[in-house]
Structure 1
């Protein structure tokens, strides 16, 4: 998972480089084309092949998921160009807290007062990063926050479709819906890349495919709740990349705010695990009483 986070950071660096020269819609469209080819080849090797991957019990929701993810990637690329890698990711790290906040009204899950306090602390961290009293709230700052909302909703929809569809079915529909959606809106911005930029694009696609493959392998080896804390290492990797490669400045308010947000996110994850264990223990106790 740490390797995945490193590759995601490198992938974002390539996206920033290409997004500064070409329309983000074009960059993301080509990326999703390669992603769709990779997923098609991957699922074709699984039991049932493509026929099994197409069979979704919630096709509309799967399409919405794919389109939402593609839109989130476009917004993030735009944010990388306008705001930089460091500040974009510092603001984007709020998405797990948004998942926790939205899990109540969307999924009907109970969010206790401890997690609400953590969510509130996380948003205080966001305010520290934004410094609304010291500077005007810019449109650029709203980009990663908008992407965080979209990614949080995408995560919730993923949990909903997981009740009926396998992970491979969801993976396939995400790639296909994203590729089709990006083609419909991105072809108008088509232009041939310079030879050196095709090299950067190839590197972006290779890193993207490798990172997603390793992510699948990671989830095969361990539970998502165990892996999630390691995903925060991406913020460290992307900060080093932004400062060393792109000459960005790491402001102290960003460091403090991001630390609060990550800490709140980790606490929220821990509380979710505690509640899951408590619920499992209650269900086991009830089952024991029923048998007796």
Structure 2
């Protein structure tokens, strides 16, 4: 470990600031996507966002890391991860078109709970009874928000739950990429394969891009790429137990943007469910960190 890395881990302030800024960028990305769902289908949004993001990421990689960084020995894994990302994006944009931004954000918080549950069959990891209990509590929080069978139930919320599941698969699949793989290489293929998968569908259902929407798609490409990069970098600067809880600041920004732009005010049950999910997620992170230190 270098001196700089050790100092960064002993001073978590930069890591916390980094993840908070990254989360804010992703909320801006989601807000732009929500605005665009009124004009474009989910795969059209994926297509236009990524057709702008791929050249930007490639140019940055070539300029700063060199062309060989784009090469990979794990193309099949990247292709599978890209397909999962397309499914998650499709579900997210479908749900986001109907749900308040804060409610959609709250349901995505279920991803760490899915990660813990899926790590048993997919990674052969051992999960103790305390973390299983936290998983069950987290899913109870999801039910509080979704409220199946109640008058307030919105089927669109199931799309966002599906997004959380896909995101969990996406994060777990990162373990199947070799440790030698550069983070920039991974980012490039995360943008490239969804573009490849979305292109045939968009070609069959072609919808031209309105020029006044170009800044929003460009904003998604910029804020989405920067947000993912900053969040990943934050986890390198400090332990997950310190950084991960600040991922939940997304609810604050999503609530504020939803109110300012769309006048959305989710009901109290949304925040109750979000609090349960957040508490469960934080406990899982702390427990996993403690187990890793033993």
TM range (shorter): 0.7 to 0.9
Tell me how far apart the structure 2 counterparts of residues 221 and 270 of structure 1 sit (CA, whole Å): 17
Q: 8 Å contact 1:79–1:88 — kept in the other structure?
A: yes
SS at match of 2:52: helix
Q: Given that residues 106 and 270 in structure 2 are in contact (C-alpha distance below 8 angstroms), is that contact kept between their aligned partners in structure 1? A: yes
- Please give the TM-score of this superposition, normalised by the length of structure 2: 0.86
Which of structure 1's runs of 4+ aligned residues deviate more than 4 A? none
Partner of 1:240: 256
CA distance in 2, matches of 1:224, 1:178: 28
- Cα distance in 1, alignment partners of residues 56 and 235 from structure 2: 18
Q: How does 1:111-122 map to 2 (within 5 A)?
A: 111-122=127-138
Cα deviation, residue 102, structure 1: 0.6
* Alignment check: 8 A CA contact 2:255 2:265 kept: no
Structure 1 residue 223, shift from structure 2 partner = 4.5
Q: Give the one of 53, 63, 66 matched to 2:70.
A: 53
- Residue 7 of structure 1 corresponds to 25
Structure-1 separation of matches of 2:109 and 2:229: 22
Match of 1:252 in 2: 268
What is the root-mean-square deviation of aligned Cα atoms in Å? 2.0
Q: 1:183 aligns with which of 189, 199, 217?
A: 199
Report the counterpart of residue 24 of structure 1 in structure 2. Answer: 42
Unmatched segments (≥5 aa) in structure 2: 1-18
- Aligned pair count reads 276
Q: SS state of the match for residue 273, structure 2?
A: helix
Aligned to 1:82: 98
Q: Quick one: which of 215, 222, 225 aligns to 2:238?
A: 222
Aligned 8 A contact 2:52 2:218 in 1: no
TM-score w.r.t. length of structure 1? 0.87
Given the alignment of the two structures, is residue 100 of structure 1 paired with residue 89 of structure 2, yes or no? no
Question: CA–CA distance in 2 between the matches of 1:218 and 1:84?
Answer: 28
Distance of 2:253 and 2:152 partners within structure 1:
28
Q: Which consecutive residues of structure 1, in runs of 5 or more, have no partner in the other structure?
A: 279-292
Query: Is 2:83 aligned against 1:67?
Result: yes
Higher mean displacement: 222-231 or 101-110: 222-231
The Cα shift of 1:219 comes to 4.4
2:219 equivalent in structure 1: 203
